């Protein structure tokens, strides 16, 4: 196979199989991806740091014999360090930062045979639910370019949705894999806490809120990639349960009759947008048609208490990162102030800085208690189905703010993502599945939460849903 258009339509698993069969060379895949980036990125602003020379050198060299040998890939510009390549985290104060080591996750990506062709756009320090950093500018949604891609993995999601690469790195501390997966019509799974390593730079972030993985077009790519990267690293602060068998073997396996509870209301009782309600109702009906036991229901969790708990954890985490940047630059003779950060980031930092150590530790304890409540909920329901987001992708600029309007912008942020942060606080895996598009042609994700360590259940159901209502062949206007 040499037709470039045909190559670009394949998922990573299929591309890797062509390499193994000798039907295509890695350099052909890399050049196809680079060509697609050069053609479409001016419309999307998804890739902000090209790595073409490194990619072509890797494609011409000895590629590890991993499951994705020769497949082009993109790294989000947050957390996953690549030695010697600029790493900005979407922050002007870090625009010249170049790490001196690789993250363990990057090492595992290389061992899997992936060839990284660039880094993708992200909001400043990942501290927003839209990808519109002042440093690099807005990433545009390939379905309707005036709409958000979501965040913070918006650059990766736009790139995969538009067919620049078949999958891309993403991470998630409040929904940052699942939010943009919903906005861009992709499969996005946040793994169980500690499934993938964050080191060596950090052990965890904000007491376990952050997880690493990817956004993909196919379920099997997500499962196979997780097999390639998961497992503890030396010195990790904690481990998660080992899977009974490789996740790739769960794709296509019989999920049995699952007990699925669904709700279209937030934990605080607020109803989602009509498009999101319709997406959940259709997903619930599809699950019922597939033989699962589907009932309306929700865990008994105080929504306001959870909101306060999550805000405390997340904001303290942001405060620690910002203060670390300020202190490190002071050592080199540069004094950063609030004007060197975006107003929303600084507002979150102020909230975190106002918390006492006692308040933070009480929030961690509350989150752990909520995790126990969710564990009890999952003794009666295998999965919980909700909207991924409270509304369809909003227009670019919806979250724009000044110092004076940052509090109201932050309210809009939380209103947009009432469903995804729970999994970050409890450590459970969750996935956004692209089963519905609204009348505007925008994708609307549906969200499934499983018990701690329950990725196998999610992969089994996701593969069943993918077969029943395929989505990978749908292409946004930008990619056509």
Alpha-carbon gap, residue 434 to 207, rounded angstroms: 30
CA distance readout (Å), 213 to 176, 267, 414, 442, 478: 10, 26, 23, 24, 25
Alpha-carbon gap, residue 259 to 216, rounded angstroms: 26
Alpha-carbon gap, residue 15 to 24, rounded angstroms: 8
In the residue annotation, 9 being an active-site residue is answered as no
Output the pLDDT for position 332: 86
Tell me: domain 4-479, CATH 3.40.190.10, correct? Answer: no
In the residue annotation, 356 being an active-site residue is answered as no
The model's pLDDT over 115-167, given as tens digits with 9 standing for 90+, comes to 999 999 999 999 999 999 999 999 999 999 999 999 999 999 999 999 999 99
Angle among Cα 289, 290, 293 to the nearest 5 degrees reads 80
Alpha-carbon gap, residue 9 to 31, rounded angstroms: 15
Give the length of the chain.
Answer: 480
Q: What is the DSSP track for 458-476? A: HHHHHHHHHHHS--TT---
The model's pLDDT over 417-439, given as tens digits with 9 standing for 90+, comes to 999 999 999 999 999 999 999 99
Q: Are 131 and 154 in contact (CB under 8 A)?
A: yes
Domain boundaries, the chain: 4-479
Q: Are 94 and 87 in contact (CB under 8 A)?
A: yes
CA distance readout (Å), 124 to 87, 321, 399, 465: 12, 11, 13, 35
Strand arrangement, sheet containing 211-216:
47-50, 115-120, 72-76, 167-172, 211-216, 187-190, 430-437, 443-450, 383-387, 259-262, 293-296
pLDDT above 80 (res 323):
yes
HSE-CB for 444 with a 13 A CA cutoff: 23
The model's pLDDT over 241-272, given as tens digits with 9 standing for 90+, comes to 999 999 999 999 999 999 999 999 999 999 99
Active-site entry in 89, 153, 157, 176: 176
- The mean pLDDT of the chain is 97
The model's pLDDT over 29-55, given as tens digits with 9 standing for 90+, comes to 999 999 999 999 999 999 999 999 999
Q: Are 267 and 301 in contact (CB under 8 A)?
A: yes
In whole angstroms, what separates CA 234 from the centre of its chain? Answer: 24
The arithmetic mean of pLDDT across residues 304-315, rounded, is 98
Active-site entry in 76, 157, 190, 315: 76
Output the pLDDT for position 472: 93
Please name which of 55, 56, 71, 54 lies closest in space to residue 20, comparing C-alpha atoms: 71
Angle among Cα 154, 194, 465 to the nearest 5 degrees reads 60
pLDDT above 50 (res 1):
no
pLDDT above 50 (res 373):
yes
User: If 0-12 CB within 10 Å is exposed, 13-18 middle and 19+ buried, where does residue 21 land?
Assistant: exposed
- What share of the chain in percent tops pLDDT 90? 97
Alpha-carbon gap, residue 51 to 54, rounded angstroms: 6
pLDDT band at 2 (very low <50, low <70, confident <90, very high): low
> Angle formed by the axes of helices 12-20 and 219-229, to 10°?
70
Alpha-carbon gap, residue 351 to 201, rounded angstroms: 25
The arithmetic mean of pLDDT across residues 347-371, rounded, is 98
In the residue annotation, 190 being an active-site residue is answered as no
Alpha-carbon gap, residue 388 to 392, rounded angstroms: 10
Identify the weakest region by mean pLDDT among 321-335, 338-352, 368-382: 321-335
- The pair of structure tokens assigned to 162 is 């538009």
Alpha-carbon gap, residue 189 to 215, rounded angstroms: 7
Active-site entry in 89, 103, 152, 390: 152
pTM: 0.98
Output the pLDDT for position 159: 98
Mention every residue, 6+ apart, whose C-beta is less than 8 A from residue 456.
243, 244, 245, 247, 250
Output the pLDDT for position 431: 99
- What share of the chain in percent tops pLDDT 70? 99
Output the pLDDT for position 326: 97
Q: What is the DSSP track for 380-435? A: T-SEEEEESSSSSPPBTTTT---TTTHHHHHHHHHHH-SSTHHHHHH---EEEEEE
Please name which of 247, 289, 267, 281 lies closest in space to residue 422, comparing C-alpha atoms: 267
């Amino acid at each position: 196979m040499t037709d470039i258009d045909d190559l670009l339509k394949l998922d990573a698993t299929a591309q890797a199989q062509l390499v193994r069969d000798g039907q295509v060379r890695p350099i052909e895949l890399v050049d196809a991806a680079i060509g697609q980036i050069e053609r479409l990125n001016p419309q999307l602003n998804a890739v902000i740091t090209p790595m073409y020379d490194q990619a072509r050198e890797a494609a011409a060299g000895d590629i590890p014999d991993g499951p994705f040998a020769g497949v082009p890939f993109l790294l989000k510009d947050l957390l996953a360090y690549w030695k010697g390549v600029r790493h900005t985290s979407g922050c002007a104060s870090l625009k010249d930062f170049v790490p001196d080591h690789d993250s363990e996750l990057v090492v595992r990506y290389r061992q899997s045979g992936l060839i990284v062709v660039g880094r993708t756009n992200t909001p400043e320090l990942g501290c927003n639910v839209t990808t519109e950093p002042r440093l690099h500018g807005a990433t545009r949604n390939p379905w309707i370019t005036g709409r958000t891609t979501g965040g913070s993995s918006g650059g990766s999601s736009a790139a995969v949705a538009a067919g620049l690469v078949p999958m891309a790195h993403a991470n998630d501390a409040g929904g940052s894999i699942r939010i943009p997966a919903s906005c861009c019509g992709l499969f996005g799974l946040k793994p169980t806490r500690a499934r993938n390593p964050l080191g060596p730079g950090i052990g965890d972030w904000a007491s376990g809120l952050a997880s690493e993985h990817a956004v993909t077009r196919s379920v099997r790519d997500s499962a196979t990639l997780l097999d390639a990267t998961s497992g503890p690293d030396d010195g990790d602060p904690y481990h998660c349960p080992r899977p009974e068998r490789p996740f790739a073997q769960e794709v296509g396996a019989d999920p049995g009759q699952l007990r699925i509870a669904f709700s279209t209301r937030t934990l605080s009782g607020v109803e989602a947008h009509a498009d999101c309600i319709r997406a959940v109702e259709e997903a619930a009906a599809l699950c019922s048609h597939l033989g699962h036991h589907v009932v309306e229901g929700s865990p008994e969790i105080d929504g306001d208490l959870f909101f306060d708990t999550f805000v405390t954890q997340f904001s303290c985490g942001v405060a620690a990162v910002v203060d670390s940047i300020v202190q490190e630059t002071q050592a080199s003779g540069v004094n950063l102030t609030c004007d060197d950060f975006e107003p929303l980031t600084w507002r979150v930092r102020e909230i975190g800085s106002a918390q006492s150590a006692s308040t933070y530790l009480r929030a961690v304890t509350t989150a752990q208690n909520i995790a126990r409540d969710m564990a009890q909920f999952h003794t009666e329901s295998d999965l919980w189905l909700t909207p991924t987001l409270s509304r369809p992708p909003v227009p670019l600029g919806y979250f724009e703010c000044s110092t004076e309007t940052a509090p109201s912008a932050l309210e809009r942020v939380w209103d947009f993502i009432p469903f995804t942060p729970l999994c970050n606080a409890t450590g459970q895996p969750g996935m956004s599945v692209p089963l519905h598009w609204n009348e505007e042609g925008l994708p609307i994700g549906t969200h499934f939460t499983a018990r701690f360590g329950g990725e196998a259940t999610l992969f089994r159901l996701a593969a069943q849903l993918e077969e029943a209502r395929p989505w990978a062949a749908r292409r946004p206007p930008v990619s056509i």
